[in-house]
């Protein structure tokens, strides 16, 4: 009785390794790029929003943001209207690195999707979305 779990796990681990290798030159780890790209695409945001959107534990988010900040890609400043929040935004260096990161991610994606048609890929995305909704509720 075959299950998707084995494949999901193996794909995840291999993608982590591939992405880590691609992003090593920028000193961005496999655990940080999602946050960088999320901030890039939605501008000023908070850790809470990122956690909810990416379905990642808030403590994981905190640590990833701390690393991105240490590398100079993200700036943090307390929200003047509510000091519990830290407003996040990309720095100059952050904006500059985004296209390179995007290109690296595209390379990995092309490698992963080789031999899969656009229709099949859309189908895959749709099914994964459904599975994610199921396991995350």
Partner DNA sequence: CGATATAGGATGCCATTGCAACTAATATTC
Partner DNA sequence: GAATATTAGTTGCAATGGCATCCTATATCG
Dihedral (CA of 65, 35, 109, 12) sign = positive
Q: Which residues, other chains included, contact 66 with Cβ-Cβ below 8 Å and sequence gap of 6+?
A: none
44 binds, among DNA, a copy of itself, none (CB under 5 to 8 A by kind): none
CB distance 39 to 74 below 8 Å: yes
Angle between helices 58-70 and 33-42 (to 10 degrees): 90
State yes or no: residue 47 binds DNA (CB under 7 A): yes
123 binds, among a copy of itself, DNA, none (CB under 5 to 8 A by kind): a copy of itself
State yes or no: residue 20 binds a copy of itself (CB under 8 A): no
Q: Which two tokens stand for residue 11?
A: 């794909």
State yes or no: residue 109 binds DNA (CB under 7 A): no
CB distance 38 to 73 below 8 Å: no
Dihedral (CA of 69, 73, 74, 75) sign = positive
Question: CA 76 to CA 21: how far, in whole Å?
Answer: 27
> Which residue number, 123 or 131, has a Cβ lying nearer to DNA?
131
In this chain, which stretch among 12-20, 92-100, 101-109, 118-126 interacts with DNA, using CB under 7 A? 12-20
State yes or no: residue 111 binds DNA (CB under 7 A): no
State yes or no: residue 44 binds DNA (CB under 7 A): no
Contacts with a copy of itself, residue ranges (CB under 8 A): 1-15, 18-19, 34, 54-56, 105-106, 108-109, 111-116, 120-121, 123-125, 127-132, 134-136
Contacts with DNA, residue ranges (CB under 7 A): 9, 13, 16-17, 20, 29-32, 46-48, 51, 56-60, 62-67, 76, 82-86
């Amino acid at each position: 009785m075959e299950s998707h779990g084995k494949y999901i796990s193996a794909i995840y681990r291999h993608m982590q390794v591939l992405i880590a290798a691609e992003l090593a030159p920028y000193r961005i780890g496999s655990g940080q790029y999602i946050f960088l790209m999320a901030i890039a695409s939605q501008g000023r945001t908070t850790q809470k929003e990122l956690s909810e959107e990416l379905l990642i534990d808030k403590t994981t988010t905190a640590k990833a943001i701390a690393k991105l900040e240490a590398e100079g890609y993200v700036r943090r400043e307390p929200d003047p209207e509510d000091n519990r929040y830290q407003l996040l935004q990309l720095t100059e260096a952050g904006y500059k690195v985004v296209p390179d990161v995007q290109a690296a991610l595209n390379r990995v994606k092309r490698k992963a999707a080789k031999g899969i048609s656009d229709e099949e890929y859309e189908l895959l995305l749709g099914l994964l979305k459904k599975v994610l909704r199921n396991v995350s509720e």
